[in-house]
């Protein structure tokens, strides 16, 4: 018998009556509508048995969720678990594979308006009730694919509503306006308290927009289905213009999946800035396996004021800038700030996004004449003081030829950017505090002007590959300001290979308490490997830097900085440069072949009134040809509190090994202080 798949959707999360998730809790599976427990549960390979099905543990990326699993020969189940009152809690789910099976079974379903007859034999067991009656003559006439009891593949299926849009009169010919029929199907699902709307293969022109999808609706475009935008409007929103559902109380519990969504941004009359899918004030939203092409101006997907949102295995290809939209993101995360930020509906209560996962997606060009790749892949460009987007994970995506950034995390907390590949883009990842140059970004929710930014914290940038960036900005940038710092960041295990212009591989400004470790950085045209301005509490260690256009590692006006155990070869300027600041340790670095852009620079340079600097255990060497360093170690006369020892500077400079102009440097390797 065939295997069927369940679980793994945004709705499959155990929660208490107050909305708290219930992690690591046993879940029982029954055949739908019966007391027959199903114990033979399998992993997705259909072979490995599952001894006990439990919700994900607290430490999981999706705590409380029920993972995907398979059952042999059962097309519909009831989940069950014991609630806090001691009573069982049950809910229904149809197998994921039923969409195609149901569409095949409904291939002969007839139009409501045209009517007709099914001539193939039809066997009905029990009572058949059909709206408007049923004509039976070797077959049955139906006016909709909706039933209290429906058999697919010999198994009972009992969803609240399964709706094939062809039953509402779609043509799927790419010429007829199918939007009214599709909207009727979506409305029918909403009116039934939820349902599954299925779009068979075909080209569906949408000339009456936007489509409105409401809570507890699953929209499935089967393989071969295309939505073709034919009106100067956004394609889909989740609600009505006049609604007033704040926070996350709007139309949620949505699953949108499959198909190609053609925005036709180069077609005359369709070039103004518009969005494809725009959702707000929602909880538990999943968009997966869709392809969005050639969006003009705005975004392929906007998740505004959304909690527990998922964008999975999607392709965002092609963008058209009608003017002034050079910063648009394919997937925008935004807050409900104002009508100018989100125009579909309110309220504008500054609700942010929380618990967002964007995984396995591709961002790039479509190849359509007159289009480009996206300016930015994922991100935000609006902010309100005291508001942060939280728990955002961008994992395992591919970004290609984006003119600006792969991601901009603007006013975020607790953000993971991991396992992504960024190729041929202008820059990579930027974490940024609210920009004080924009007065709208520095207001409180009540409109009070603060004239200041705010701290943003908790960034993890791990295991990404940045290749052949074009120099719009740095590969990784922590962009704080004096009134708002970037706090508590981990930058580890990234590969940055190729950067045009004068931008750096890693650049920090007003960033505190971060680590940059274990990164490989190579082939920068004119920028530094790691450039730090006004850092506090930073550790830059165990990185491998090669062929760097300017400084290998620099720290300007830093406090409590460690630069240790890095390997730095072939830099255009200095190997390590400490510019001002205090309490800096430069320890155990291997530096070779610096000053290639112009002769006379240094392996290690300490300057500009730097204070309390310890330089120990470093080794510097000349290249042996071409432009060379003047000294292996150079300390200017304005520096104080220098302690240095154990450095190997033999054959490190053409003018000498060490030039120390500081006052009374301490050269002793022994302990300092009173025992």
Give the chain's end-to-end CA distance (angstroms, integer). 79
In a domain, 169, yes or no: no
Quote the radius of gyration of the chain (alpha carbons, Å).
30
Tell me what pLDDT residue 146 has: 47
Q: Using the 3D structure, point to which of 63, 96, 129 is the last residue of a domain.
A: 96
Sign of CA dihedral 646, 674, 557, 443: positive
Q: For the chain, what is the mean pLDDT?
A: 91
Largest alpha-carbon pair distance within the chain? 107
For 198-241, the pLDDT digits (tens) are 999 999 999 999 999 999 999 999 999 999 999 999 999 999 99
Structure-model confidence comparison of residues 485 and 108, the more confident one = 485
* Total of domains in the chain: 2
**Residue 306 forms part of a structural domain:** no
pLDDT at 145: 44
The separation between CA 515 and the C-alpha centre of its own chain, rounded to angstroms, equals: 22
What value does the mean pLDDT take over residues 28-42? 92
CA atoms of 194 and 253, how far apart (whole Å): 9
Which of 67, 96, 125 is where one domain is finished? Answer: 96
Report the percentage of the chain scoring pLDDT > 70. 91
Which pLDDT value is given to residue 33?
Answer: 87
Nearest to 229 by CA among 287, 182, 194, 276: 276
- With 0.85 as the threshold, say if the pTM is over it: no
pLDDT of residue 18: 76
pLDDT tens column, 525-540 = 999 999 999 999 999 9
Neighbour-count burial of 398, counting CB atoms closer than 10 A to its CB (0-12 exposed, 13-18 middle, 19+ buried): middle
Q: How many CA atoms lie within 13 A of 551 on its CB side?
A: 18
Q: What is the pLDDT of residue 87?
A: 84
> Residue 59: its pLDDT value, please?
85
Dist CA 654 CA 649 (whole Å): 12
Residue 673 lies in a domain: yes
On whether the CB atoms of residues 244 and 221 are closer than 8 A, the answer is: no
Domain annotation covers residue 592: yes
Q: Which of 616, 630, 619 lies closest to 659, judged by CA?
A: 630
Q: How far apart, in whole angstroms, are the C-alpha atoms of residue 292 and residue 259?
A: 9
- Binned at pLDDT 50, 70 and 90, residue 394 comes out as very high
Please give the C-alpha separations between residue 675 and each of 149, 671, 672, in angstroms, as whole numbers: 86, 9, 9
What is the extent of the structural domain holding 552? 534-675
Average pLDDT over residues 608-635: 98
User: Tokens standing for 652?
Assistant: 């490190």
- The confidence band for 113, taking pLDDT boundaries of 50, 70 and 90, is low
Task: Answer for the pair 306, 330: CB distance below 8 angstroms, yes or no.
Answer: no
Neighbouring residues of 463: CB distance < 8 A, sequence distance ≥ 6: 418, 419, 492, 493, 494
Q: What is the pLDDT of residue 483?
A: 98
Q: What is the pLDDT of residue 111?
A: 54
304: helix, strand or coil: strand
Please check whether residue 473 lies inside any domain of the structure: no
pLDDT tens figures, 312-345 = 999 999 999 999 999 999 999 999 999 888 888 9
What integer is the mean pLDDT of 4-9? 88
From the CB of residue 508, how many other CB atoms can be counted at a distance below 10 Å? Answer: 30
Residue 477 resides in a domain: no
Q: Residue 631 is part of a domain; what is its CATH number? A: 2.160.20.10
| Residue 150 pLDDT | 47
**Of the residues 96, 121, 140, the one at which a domain ends:** 96
> Which range has the top average pLDDT, 129-133, 192-196, 455-459?
455-459
pLDDT at 596: 96
Residue 667, in any domain of the structure: yes
Decide if 238 is inside a domain.
no
Cα–Cα distance, 660 to 636 (Å, whole number)? 6
For residue 117, the model assigns a pLDDT of: 60
Residue 126: the pLDDT is 59
For position 375, what pLDDT does the model report?
98
């Amino acid at each position: 018998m065939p295997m069927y798949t369940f679980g793994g959707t945004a709705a499959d999360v155990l929660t208490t009556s107050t909305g708290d998730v219930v992690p690591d809790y046993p879940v029982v599976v029954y055949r739908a509508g019966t007391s027959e427990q199903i114990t033979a549960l399998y992993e997705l390979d259909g072979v490995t048995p599952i001894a006990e099905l439990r919700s994900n543990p607290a430490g999981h990326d999706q705590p409380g969720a029920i993972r995907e699993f398979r059952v042999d020969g059962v097309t519909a189940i009831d989940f069950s678990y014991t609630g806090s009152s001691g009573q069982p809690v049950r809910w229904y789910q149809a197998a994921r594979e039923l969409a195609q099976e149901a569409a095949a079974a409904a291939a002969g379903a007839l139009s409501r308006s045209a009517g007709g007859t099914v001539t193939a034999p039809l066997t009905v067991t029990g009572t058949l009730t059909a709206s408007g009656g049923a004509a039976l003559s070797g077959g049955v006439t139906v006016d909709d694919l909706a039933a209290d009891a429906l058999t697919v593949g010999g198994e009972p299926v009992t969803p609240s509503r399964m709706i094939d849009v062809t039953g509402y009169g779609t043509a799927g010919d790419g010429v007829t306006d199918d939007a009214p029929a599709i909207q009727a199907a979506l409305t029918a699902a909403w009116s039934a308290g939820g349902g599954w709307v299925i779009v068979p293969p075909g080209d569906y022109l949408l000339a009456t927009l936007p489509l409105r999808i409401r809570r507890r609706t699953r929209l499935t475009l089967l393989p071969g289905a295309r939505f073709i935008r034919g009106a100067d409007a956004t394609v889909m929103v989740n609600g009505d213009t006049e609604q007033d559902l704040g926070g996350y109380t709007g139309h949620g519990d949505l699953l949108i999946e499959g198909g190609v969504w053609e925005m036709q941004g180069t077609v005359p009359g369709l070039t103004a800035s518009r969005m494809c899918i725009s959702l707000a004030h929602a909880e538990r939203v999943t968009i997966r396996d869709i392809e969005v092409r050639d969006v003009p101006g705005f975004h392929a997907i906007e998740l505004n004021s959304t909690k527990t949102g998922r964008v999975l295995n999607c392709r965002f290809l092609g963008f058209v800038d009608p003017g002034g939209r050079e910063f648009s993101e394919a997937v925008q995360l935004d807050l409900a700030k104002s009508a100018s930020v989100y125009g579909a509906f309110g309220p504008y209560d500054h609700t942010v996004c929380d618990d967002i996962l964007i995984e396995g997606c591709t961002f790039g060009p479509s190849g359509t004449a007159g289009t480009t790749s996206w300016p930015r892949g994922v991100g935000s460009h609006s902010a309100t003081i005291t508001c942060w987007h939280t728990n955002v994970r961008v994992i395992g995506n591919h970004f290609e030829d984006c003119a600006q950034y792969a991601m901009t995390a603007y006013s975020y907390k607790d953000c993971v950017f991991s396992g992504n590949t960024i190729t041929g883009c202008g820059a990579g990842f930027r974490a940024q505090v609210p920009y004080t140059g924009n007065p709208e970004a520095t207001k409180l929710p009540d409109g009070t002007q603060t004239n200041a930014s705010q701290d943003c914290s908790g960034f993890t940038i791990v295991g990404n590959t940045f290749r052949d960036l074009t120099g719009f900005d740095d590969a990784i940038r922590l962009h704080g300001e004096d009134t708002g710092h970037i706090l508590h960041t981990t930058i580890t295990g990234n590969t940055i290979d190729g950067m045009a212009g004068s931008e750096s591989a890693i650049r920090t400004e007003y960033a505190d308490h971060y680590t940059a470790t274990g990164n490989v950085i190579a082939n920068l045209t004119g920028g530094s490997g790691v450039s730090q301005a006004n850092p506090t509490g930073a550790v830059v260690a165990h990185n491998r830097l090669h062929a760097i256009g300017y400084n290998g590692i620099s720290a300007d006006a830093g406090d409590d900085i460690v630069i240790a155990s890095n390997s730095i070869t072939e830099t255009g300027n200095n190997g390590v440069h400490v510019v001002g600041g205090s309490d800096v340790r430069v320890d155990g670095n291997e530096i070779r072949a610096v000053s290639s852009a112009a002769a006379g620079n240094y392996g290690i340079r300490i300057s500009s009134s730097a204070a309390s600097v310890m330089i120990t255990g470093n080794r510097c060497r000349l290249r042996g040809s071409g432009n060379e360093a003047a000294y292996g170690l150079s300390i200017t006369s304005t520096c104080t509190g220098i302690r240095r020892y154990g450095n190997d500077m033999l054959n490190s400079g053409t003018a000498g090994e060490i030039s120390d102009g500081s006052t009374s440097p301490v050269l002793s390797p022994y302990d300092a202080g009173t025992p």
